[in-house]
Amino acid sequence: MKPFAPLLAALLALAACSKRDSEPESNGATTTATQMSAAAAASAPKTPTTVAPPVSAPVSSAPRASVMHPDLLDPSKANAKAPEVFKAKFTTTKGDFVIEAHRDWAPNGADRFYNLVKMGFYDDTRFFRAVEGFMVQFGINGDPLVNARWQEAGITDDPVKQSNKRGFVTFAQRNTPNTRTTQIFINYGDNARLDASRFAPFGQVTQGMDVVDQLYKGYGEGAPMGRGPDQGAIQSQGNAYLDSKFPQLDAIKHAEIVK
């Protein structure tokens, strides 16, 4: 598989050349309203996409993130049907927040999220991409062996029934259908332009949005468009890479289903 940097650079160039600011692009969308300045538009972050590491990428010998649920190495076990409405509490380095998920908004997304939380997938992971006014993204495991098992475990796309408004929670994806795996994002602003690009919200932060707002954003956009973490490196090296190169990132201590 060819490196991702040339593809991302090409997409960035394409976005910069587009004059239709009000239209979402098939591979990206800016995050602000049409009233934004030309200078701001040129530097606007792209969509909450995921990047899988090259198939040939070496698996890091970094220590495991934590004692893990045995099913984390077998995505086929993530097959439980979620309740129609449920809540997940996230305990983080900045405090707690709660996501309320709705199966009728996006059943496949809600089911996958439910299983990941139950399995402990998000425990000891980092908020690796946080962009002011746009969104905060997380959901790459701290253990490279776990990431290798999940990188192609995509779920079928859901119809978009809700809009990507502030506080709404959605799975990130690649620029091809049915590629939602484990990464999710919380919208900081009104990102309705993402709705036309298959980003289907499955939940909403109902408690602790002030905590979400405080998550560390100092690294900005991820590599190669910014100076933040490189997703491929996170996938192949896990928390060892993030903790050594980006020590100020906030983390999820634990996530659990609550009543």
Phi, psi of 98 (to 5 degrees): -125, 130
Domain boundaries, the chain: 45-51+65-258
β-pairing verdict for 201-207 and 95-102: antiparallel
DSSP 224-246: TTSSB--HHHHHHHTHHHHHHH-
Under 8 Å between Cβ of 193 and 86? no
DSSP 169-210: EEE-B-SSSS-B-S-EEEESS--GGGGGGT--EEEEEEE-HH
Within 8 A by CB and 6+ apart from 217, the residues are 130, 131, 132, 136
β-pairing verdict for 184-187 and 168-171: antiparallel
> Which pLDDT belongs to residue 69?
78
> Which pLDDT belongs to residue 40?
39
Place of tokens 């009000």: 22
> Which pLDDT belongs to residue 253?
97
The CATH class that applies to domain 45-51+65-258 reads mainly beta
Under 8 Å between Cβ of 141 and 153? no
> Which pLDDT belongs to residue 59?
43
> Which pLDDT belongs to residue 144?
96
| Whether residue 201 has a cis bond before it, omega within 30° of 0 | no
Under 8 Å between Cβ of 234 and 51? no
Pick from 55, 169, 164, 50: which is nearest to 109 by CA? 169
Under 8 Å between Cβ of 149 and 249? no
Residues of the chain with pLDDT under 50: 1-44, 53-66
> Which pLDDT belongs to residue 46?
63
> Which pLDDT belongs to residue 238?
97
How far is the first Cα of the chain from the last one, in angstroms, to the nearest whole number?
44
